[in-house]
């Protein structure tokens, strides 16, 4: 017969066995965990093994010691942290240092030497007959230091010397000794009443005899003079009658004439050619702005005109900026097949070299007019 007592006894026996097995497994896990914890070097003394094991078992986010192997392994696996720009990132050994270029200042200006190197190349004519450029420096006679600096360049530059100045004769003699062309920078009446052409100037109110007498007196101030160009004269060079008298006196003395073109309406060049005076006219004013970079640009324009027409005439002044620009740009002219030549040589070959520019630059600024 079925016995309830026997059934209960059998089930209790089975439960007891299961509980015993669970207790054995649990005890084995505890022992194994304590052994592995010891091996990690987290606990150094046996007196604290029990409480530390208890913490490890029951807490998931316990902080690791800074110098432990577990902590080091964890840090190596962390993603790279973004470094602030204020503190540069550490550089690996063997990595070349690349300097960071500084942003140029907006106010920084290019030096004339660098600007010259950056200019676009002009057409190469070195294989053909060279073009000719004549350069005249006006307003000589007030400062001998400028004359000495100009002559030291070694270029064939004509010096146009003002009469009645403290160093007019001295400058003419020194230029002649150096083999440079000596010219009279003949003062003439300008349109602006505020511009004074200086002593010995020719005015439209002078009759033919007065004009002749003034020209003779001005020429006597310049020893070795071979040519003439006008100082100012924007008004007088437009007067046909006055120019005819001037050119007749210049022709009688065997001189040449260069029209500075201080006026677009000048008849000086045309009158000189009509009388038979060897003549030329200015193509470019070099230094309306006393800035080396701008003067170099003007010299580049002069070179381009010479390459186009065969020759060109530039007029400047004895400024330090003009002297520096000539020193910088003269070698570039030579490489492009443009020779700086004395104005006298250019005049002798005026028909072949095309000296008569069809559209000269007639702009004039400052006391040159």
| CATH code, domain with 323 | 3.20.20.370
In the prediction, which pLDDT does 184 show?
A: 98
DSSP structure string for 241-259: HHHHHHHHHHHHTT-EEEE
Both tokens of 71, joined, read 């902590």
pLDDT digits (tens, 9 = 90+) for 149-200: 999 999 999 999 999 999 999 999 999 999 999 999 999 999 999 999 999 9
In the prediction, which pLDDT does 39 show?
A: 47
The pLDDT confidence band at residue 113, using thresholds 50, 70 and 90, is low
Other beta carbons less than 10 A from residue 18's beta carbon: 9
pLDDT of 131 higher than 70? yes
**How many domains is the chain partitioned into structurally?**
1
151, part of any domain: yes
DSSP structure string for 100-114: PPPPPPTT----HHH
Q: Does pTM top 0.85 for this prediction?
A: no
179, part of any domain: yes
33, part of any domain: no
Tell me the residue range of the domain where 245 lies.
129-368
268, part of any domain: yes
pLDDT of 283 higher than 50? yes
**Between residues 36 and 161, which one has the greater pLDDT?**
161
Average confidence (pLDDT) over 342-363: 53
148, part of any domain: yes
186, part of any domain: yes
In the prediction, which pLDDT does 14 show?
A: 73
Stated length of the chain? 369
345, part of any domain: yes
| Closest C-alpha among 297, 316, 307 to residue 334 | 307
Distance between CA 292 and CA 289 in Å, rounded? 9
Question: What is the DSSP code (8-state) at residue 285?
Answer: E
89, part of any domain: no
Residue that is written with structure tokens 């200042």 in the block? 105
In the prediction, which pLDDT does 25 show?
A: 80
- The whole-chain average pLDDT of the chain stands at 77
């Amino acid at each position: 017969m079925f016995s309830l007592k026997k059934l209960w006894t059998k089930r209790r026996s089975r439960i007891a066995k299961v509980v015993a097995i669970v207790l054995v497994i649990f005890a084995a896990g505890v022992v194994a965990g304590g052994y592995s914890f010891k091996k990690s070097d987290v606990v150094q003394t046996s007196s604290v093994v029990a409480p530390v094991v208890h913490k490890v078992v029951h807490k998931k986010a316990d902080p690791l010691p800074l110098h432990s192997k577990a902590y080091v392994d964890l840090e190596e696996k962390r993603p790279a942290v973004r470094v602030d720009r204020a503190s540069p990132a550490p550089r690996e050994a063997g990595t070349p240092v690349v300097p960071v270029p500084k942003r140029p200042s907006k106010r920084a200006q290019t030096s004339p030497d660098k600007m010259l190197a950056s200019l676009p190349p002009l057409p190469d004519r070195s294989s053909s007959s060279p073009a000719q450029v004549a350069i005249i420096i006006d307003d000589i006679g007030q400062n001998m230091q400028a004359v000495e600096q100009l002559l030291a360049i070694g270029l064939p530059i004509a010096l146009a010397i003002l009469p009645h100045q403290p160093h007019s004769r001295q400058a003419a003699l020194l230029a002649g000794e150096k083999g440079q062309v000596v010219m009279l920078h003949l003062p003439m009446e300008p349109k602006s009443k505020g511009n004074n052409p200086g002593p010995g100037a020719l005015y439209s109110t002078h009759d033919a005899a007065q004009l002749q007498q003034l020209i003779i007196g001005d020429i006597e101030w310049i020893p070795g003079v071979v040519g003439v160009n006008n100082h100012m004269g924007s008004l007088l060079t437009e007067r046909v009658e006055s120019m005819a008298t001037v050119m007749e006196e210049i022709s009688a003395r065997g001189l040449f004439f260069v029209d500075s073109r201080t006026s677009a309406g000048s008849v000086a060049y045309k009158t000189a050619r009509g009388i038979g005076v060897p003549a030329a006219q200015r193509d470019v004013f070099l230094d309306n702005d006393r800035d080396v970079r701008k003067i170099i640009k003007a010299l580049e324009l002069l070179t381009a005109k010479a390459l186009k027409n065969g020759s060109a005439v530039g007029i400047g002044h004895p400024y330090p900026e003009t002297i520096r620009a000539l020193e910088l740009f003269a070698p570039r002219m030579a490489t492009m097949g443009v020779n700086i030549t004395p104005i006298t040589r250019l005049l002798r070959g005026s028909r072949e070299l095309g000296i008569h520019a069809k559209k000269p630059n007639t702009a004039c600024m400052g006391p040159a007019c």
